[in-house]
Amino acid sequence: MSEVKFSKEHEWITLEGDVATIGITKHATEMLGDIVFAELPEKGSNVEKDGTAGVVESTKAASDVYTPVSGEVVDTNQSIVDDPAKINEDPEGTSWFFKLKIKDTSELDTLMNKEEYDKFAKETSS
């Protein structure tokens, strides 16, 4: 599996072959608070880099989930729809959101590595 990359919209992405797994970061869940609702893109649909590809709602507010790369949705994680609290428990592991068959691996080049993201998250949240 490839190195984990991060977007400015607080998504993480890993790549295995041409299939990317995408979720939201721990930092994002900490900012959102208790997540009580998740909506995922439909399997088989196509999503565009930086476009919306889902929604999460906390007790406080609704937030869009964006996709950091373009592709076709090949799988979604129904377990977080059934029990959204799981997203707070393990956001960067078992609580991934969706998998994409990606078109253009060069879209990953613009994303941040862990060190860059941690710095970005710290700067933007203070």
The residues of the shown chain that bind another protein, judged by CB under 8 A, are 33-34, 36-37, 55, 57-62, 81, 84-85
Q: Which is nearer to another protein, 3 or 55 (CB)?
A: 55
d(CA 50, CA 119): 21
Residues in the chain: 126
Q: Which is nearer to another protein, 114 or 122 (CB)?
A: 122
CA neighbor of 46 nearest in space, from 25, 23, 67, 63: 67
Q: Which is nearer to another protein, 39 or 103 (CB)?
A: 39
9 within 8 A of 68, measured Cβ to Cβ: yes
Q: Least distance from C-beta 121 to another protein, angstroms?
A: 16
Q: Least distance from C-beta 84 to another protein, angstroms?
A: 7
